[in-house]
A and B are shown apart, each in its own frame.
Chain A
Amino acid sequence: MAQVAIEARGVSKWFGEGETRTVAVHDVSFEAKFGEILYVVGPSGSGKTTLLSLVSGILRPNEGTVAIEGVDIWKLADNALADFRLNRIGFVFQDFHLFPRLTTAENVALPLFLKKRDWDQSIAEARKYLEIVGLKNRADLPPVKLSGGEQQRVAIARAIISSPDILIMDEPTASLDGDTGRNIVSFVRNNILNDKRCIVVVTHDARISEFADRTLLMEDGKLKGIEKGNTHA
């Protein structure tokens, strides 16, 4: 029996009040388990990013609870929650968000600096992770010198350098061409996923559907269903 990594119970999120109120996520419950890649798919504006933020401690839900490895994360104080994210969750943003004025290795090492680790050790660690994602020779370049696919791999290296239990990826292939996108997700599936890790991927890229274990279908902020494998996406 796989352990539960994320447990969302009845989470809702709306923006604005009265006339202008938009319900982005409405009463969604699901579980994500260790050892699986869980996809969240659905049309644009269906609440995928919002849901991801609610369950990863980025955005506070209006209703419902989120437990990660049994910890009710929205009961944590702000700084404790920041520490929780730093230690347990890795984020891969859609548009990478790498600092252009830092080297690739320094970008990757950022979470370690936030963890107050020694500079040289952190850079050495970053080089190791860059090697894991196949960018050994790019460590000292600024990210802008890298291709889109390479930058995405830098972002992945940054997300996993502190060995998070949970990896959150929002549209990781959106800014990549088809083959590169497939290669990235395939790489994540084969090299990053393990029994002690849970990966949640928001996507509407059909070309990478084969790498999902289960898929959440979102529509209009509601969860329409959960499917095994890769039928949708």
Chain B
Amino acid sequence: MRIAAYWSQTVRGILRIAYKLLVNDRAKFAALLVGITFAVFLMVQMTSLFAGVLFRASATVVNVGASIWVMDPAVQTVASSIPMPDYMLDAVRSVEGVKYAVPISSGSGLAKLRDGTYQAVNVVGLDDATLFGRPGLLQGDIRDIYADNGFLVVKDSEFSKLENPKVGTDFEINNHRGVIVGIAQVASSGLFGIPTLYTTFTRALEYLPQQSFTISYILVEPKSQNDVARIKSAVGRLGYLALTKQEFMSQISRFYMYQTGLGLNLLLMTIMSFVVGLSISGQTFYTFVLENLEKFGALKAIGAKGYELVYMILFQAGFTALTGYGLGVGICAGLLFSAKLKVPDYAAVITFPILALAFVMVLIIAGISSYIGVRKVLRIEPFDIFRG
């Protein structure tokens, strides 16, 4: 409160002057804004795209919702499952602390649509007894999944690739007939741009060509949180890996981040946007300060104190930074929004950490730019101004 009063009463005049000096110099102000806006835009755009991709990559893990996933230790992402032998299911079921364990299969196939075209699909096979990991239904009855040829289709952004099927629409997978018995909804749609079908574990085995092993993952619910560690080590002794939902998601993220070059690219882009922003804004701000330097010197002669001139510079840098930040984030959000209208599946999310990171970047740019200006202004000798 006292600080607010101090600012409004005592430094308002010179800050308003600082503001006018800044915005009245249209060309430089525009250049400053372009620099910062561009940097923020570039950074937020890249990182949000990346965050979107990472989140999508874990879509199945989110949608199935199991607490613990048992898998082959070589699995890197949920999409590239490595089948496990059937005996593992019983082995996991007999581990102490396991409330229940069910198999799930995940594979892909080619669906032949009514008009004769083919479409790649992802087929998830749910445990026949429990249907654990099933999606919520928008239409249809879940029990119909047991009916002959029954499939659920997920109504996500890829839905239209199956020609917007309805309950009752039929298709073929590997010469087996399939019928849509329900339209489902999931929390997160996948990364790979293909539609997802759900059916029973048994039917998935039947329809998709199989290797000798059939189980993609074993989904485990522990009796209590305390059992998690015990289950993990027991599974480990069996030569397999048990990961909690969170761990599995981070492993998938790490895979994309470090094994695909995505992370390195992101880092490069972030550094690049920082450098671009810093050089445009830093340079412009420096010329701006230089251009006004003599006048600042004259102000010093008249009786301005060093810290007052510093306030002015910081205010100018801060104001530019915040405006550029707002513009950059705004443009980015606008573009993402319109991209999502056109490409509903556009995988990008602006998360809070991204905003915070961009903000920190902008503060650093403003800090470095104003540091140079502040030094100049503090060093200027009124006598030199006087001498002309």
Contacts and interface: CB of A to CB of B under 8 A. Distances in A.
Nearest to A118: B13
Nearest to B14: A113
A87 B386 contact: no
Contact of A86 (B12, B303, B383, B388): B303
Contacts of A113: 13-14, 16-17
Contacts of B14: 113-114
A99 B292 contact: yes
A118 B12 CA distance: 8
A38 B76 CA distance: 88
B93 to A, nearest CB: 78
A49 B387 contact: yes
B305 A82 contact: yes
B193 interface: no
A34 interface: no
Interface stretch (B20-28, B155-163, B201-209, B253-261): B20-28
A49 B306 CA distance: 23
A116 B9 contact: yes
B385 A102 contact: no
Nearest to B28: A101
Given A49-B386, A113-B17, A85 B303 contact: yes
B299 A110 contact: yes
Given A91-B301, A93-B298, A112-B13, A101 B385 contact: no
**Interface size class for chain A?**
35 or more
B367 interface: no
B301 A58 contact: yes
Contacts of B304: 82, 86, 114
Interface string A111-155: 111101111001000000000000000000000000000000000
Interface in B338-376: none
Given A83-B303, A106-B17, A95 B383 contact: no
A102 B21 contact: yes
State the majority secondary structure of interface residues on A.
helix
Interface string A154-187: 0000100000000000100000000000000000
A122 B9 CA distance: 13
B20 A93 contact: no
A110 B388 contact: no
Nearest to B9: A116
Contact of B13 (A86, A94, A95, A116): A116
Interface residues of B, number: 33
A85 B303 CA distance: 5
A193 interface: no
B384 to A, nearest CB: 10
Contacts of B17: 99, 102, 106, 110, 113
A119 B13 contact: yes
B21 A85 contact: no
Given A99-B292, A110-B17, A87 B388 contact: no
A214 B20 CA distance: 42
A98 B295 CA distance: 7
A206 interface: no
A58 B10 contact: no
Contacts of B21: 99, 101-102
B308 interface: yes
A119 B386 contact: no
A154 to B, nearest CB: 13
Contacts of A71: none
Contacts of B381: 59
Nearest to A49: B387
A52 interface: yes
Contact of A52 (B11, B13, B295, B386): B386
Contact of A97 (B294, B303, B387): B294
A191 interface: no
A42 to B, nearest CB: 15
B52 interface: no
A205 B386 CA distance: 18
A45 to B, nearest CB: 11
A174 B305 CA distance: 29
Given A53-B383, A101-B25, A116-B10, A95 B20 contact: no
Which of A49, A84, A116, A122 has its CB near the most chain B CB atoms (within 10 A)? A116
A119 B20 contact: no
B302 interface: yes
A58 B303 contact: no
B83 interface: no
A190 interface: no
Contacts of A84: 303
Given A79-B305, A99-B295, A119-B13, 11 more contacts: A53-B382, A53-B383, A53-B386, A58-B383, A59-B386, A101-B24, A102-B17, A102-B21, A110-B299, A113-B16, A114-B13
26 contacts: A58-B386, A59-B381, A78-B305, A82-B305, A83-B303, A84-B303, A85-B303, A89-B303, A93-B298, A93-B301, A93-B386, A99-B17, A99-B21, A101-B20, A102-B17, A106-B20, A110-B302, A111-B302, A111-B303, A113-B16, A114-B304, A114-B308, A118-B13, A119-B13, A170-B386, A170-B388
